[in-house]
Structure 1
Amino acid sequence: MIKEIYTTRATAKGGREGQVKSENGELDVDVRGPSSKGNYLNPEILFAGGYAACFDNAIIGVLHLKKIKEATHETTVKVTLGEIKKQQYGFEIEITVAFGNLDLKLAKEVINLAHEMCPYSNATRGNVKVNLEVKKL
């Protein structure tokens, strides 16, 4: 059992060819499958955006704990949807964090600690292949 910090809800109607709405109304979008023509959001884009924001915030937390103030960073999450076996699907995830004003050895330590802290990382651990990469900003 977790100690609750925050709870929210979103409702989908129509699956990958439908609409998603959050309970507070701020998210209210049409979604389409990855092969749909045009510019639409899809569940993978929403997942990548949520994971990127959450992981970036975990980095902020680690930098704060380590009292590192001069570092700058941005986090990119690549989500790949694929078939594990016939009619069973899954993800592979690549997290790339670009750092400025931080040597790469310390940056790798920071992202490893952020990976332990981030709720998205904890939710996927042991079930989804996640690769962590560091580069210069």
Structure 2
Amino acid sequence: MGARIVQAGGVERVFRQAFSIEPGEKLLKAFQCYLSTTAGPIPGMLFISTDKIAFRSDRSLKLTSPKGGLVRVPYKVLIPLGRIKEAIQSENTNKPNQKYIQITTEDEFEFWFMGFVNCERSFRYLQQAISAVQ
């Protein structure tokens, strides 16, 4: 996604194009990572803003449109900071170098992000953003 970010005009522009932005909302940080899904990890970028966390996949997924044709759409997740019940950092007990950030929403949905270059740093930014709205 690095080359695409440069082509698109930077991380801030990718964030603004991919997600609806509220007036006064600011992008705090963005991190390359993977979103864990039942189909396997999806590489992409996690955006942390003053209002939300958002994930956008690096590659588009092929889906069948209502008319039967194939369409390509990025995999996206958007969680308003105020809807986050809990965010914890954990690691694989068998492989301690595999660290995860688990986010649980108020309606008990869980999202697992992994593969950060520096998981502790990413988690600190996330904690700061969450505590600023609570």
Q: What TM-score bracket applies, with the shorter chain setting the length?
A: under 0.3
Per residue, is there more strand in 1 or in 2? 2
Q: How high is the TM-score relative to the length of structure 1? A: 0.25
Larger CA Rg, structure 1 vs 2: 1
Q: How high is the TM-score relative to the length of structure 2? A: 0.25
Per residue, is there more helix in 1 or in 2? 1
